[in-house]
Copies of this chain bind each other. A is one copy, B any other.
Amino acid sequence: MNIALLGFGTVGSHFYKMAQEHSELNISAVLSRRPRPELACTVTADFDEIVRDGSIDTVVEVIGGVEPAYSYITAAMRAGKHVVTANKQLMCAHYEDLLSLAKECGVRLRCTAAAGGGIPWLTSLARVEKMDEIDAVEGILNGTTNFMLSAMTANGADYGAVLREAQALGYAEADPTADVEGLDARRKLVLSANLAFGVSVQEADIPCVGISHITAADIDKAKEWGYTFKLIARAERAQRAGAVAAFVCPTLFPVSAPEAHTDGTGNLVSLYARRIGKQSFSGAGAGGFPTASNVLADCFAVMAGCESYYTDKAAPCAVDNSTAASRWLFRRNGQYEFAECSAEEAFARCDADLQSDPCALLARVADTDQKEE
């Protein structure tokens, strides 16, 4: 397999190192804006050079962001090259597009590293979807916020302090919005729900509450009640045919739940299927080697002749949270208040500005009966 690697950041450089150990993988070109004399292969800033190189059969994209990644991988597919990407933002933004282009061009498209870091999550979902009916998927899919909530829970620190700590450790970016407001988790949820239910949901249709409004006092109060805060992305079949319920929000778990014990930057994600029951997967949700390992596994799958994408099914699908009932915790004028309602109602009660009283949606209360099945 002759690979062109687009991007040489954390994931790219770790993938490069791992790929070097496999003689069947040959990285023949790296797309990089700056010269990299340390690399033995062609280094170019000109993507056209890569597209024109007929000896390159597979493009590995780890640049991130929608453009220029979208232009690159569509050009690569049109040139008959397989694509492996770790780019969740791109996969969410152009899901149906990219799947049909891969099919049309007769090439393979994989994105296992886009959700769950090094966990074989998307592949496991695709595997179960082929033989069972998946009712729900949910989990801790963002390492940054899990690190922050774990630190707040462990030592009583406030949000601002743990954010600075996460930034100092390289777990959070200078602009932490995508992580702390749940947008990163939501993108991973889109890909998970799409595979689990054979649909294509729109990122913007999924209500999303992050963790930036959670205070040390909230964490303390939850502890008093025997709960631990986790940021959870969840999707389930809606009662309305052809729709799914999906949302991202802080969630309260009792200490007996495995989610409550998933600390640091770890991810833990579960599927609930009719026949197989619940299956959970946990491990490093980010980091150079874990993420690169899923990129590498995708390359092996492409080499082994996997299908065009994980699934053929990508029917456009509405998000309908009107029947996803739960118990919810609100904070209104500084007072805590539990209510039973649908996710649709819960998010509707929540102001656009979550920092502001009178009505902040604090958390969903996890349905632990389901967990203990």
Which of B127, B275, B289, B300 lies in contact with A275, CB distance below 8 A? B289
Which of B131, B255, B278 lies in contact with A297, CB distance below 8 A? B131
Kindly state whether residue A306 has any CB partner on chain B within 8 Å.
Answer: yes
Kindly state whether residue A64 has any CB partner on chain B within 8 Å.
Answer: no
- Beyond A293-B128, A293-B131, A305-B304, whether A119 also contacts B279 by CB under 8 A is yes
In the complex, are the beta carbons of B276 and A283 less than 8 A apart?
yes
Kindly state whether residue A290 has any CB partner on chain B within 8 Å.
Answer: yes
Kindly state whether residue A372 has any CB partner on chain B within 8 Å.
Answer: yes
The B-contacting residues of A in range 229-273, CB under 8 angstroms, are: 255-258, 261, 263
Question: How many protomers of this protein does the assembly include?
Answer: 2
| Whole-angstrom CA separation of A157 from B293 in the bound complex | 45
Chain B residue with Cβ nearest A14: B275
| Whole-angstrom CA separation of A256 from B372 in the bound complex | 17
| Whole-angstrom CA separation of A21 from B305 in the bound complex | 24
The B-contacting residues of A in range 288-304, CB under 8 angstroms, are: 289-290, 293, 296-297, 300, 304
Which of B256, B278, B282, B305 lies in contact with A283, CB distance below 8 A? B278
In the complex, are the beta carbons of A276 and B281 less than 8 A apart?
no
Chain B residue with Cβ nearest A132: B293
Kindly state whether residue A284 has any CB partner on chain B within 8 Å.
Answer: yes
In the complex, are the beta carbons of A283 and B277 less than 8 A apart?
yes
Kindly state whether residue A106 has any CB partner on chain B within 8 Å.
Answer: no
The 10 A-B residue pairs whose C-beta atoms are closest, nearest first, are A279-B283, A275-B289, A280-B282, A258-B258, A277-B284, A118-B276, A276-B290, A276-B293, A131-B296, A256-B261
A-B pairs with beta carbons under 8 Å apart, 10 shown: A18-B131, A21-B131, A119-B279, A127-B297, A132-B289, A132-B293, A261-B261, A277-B283, A280-B282, A304-B305
Chain A interface residues toward B at CB < 8 A: 18, 21-22, 118-120, 124, 127-128, 130-132, 255-258, 261, 263, 275-284, 287, 289-290, 293, 296-297, 300, 304-306, 372
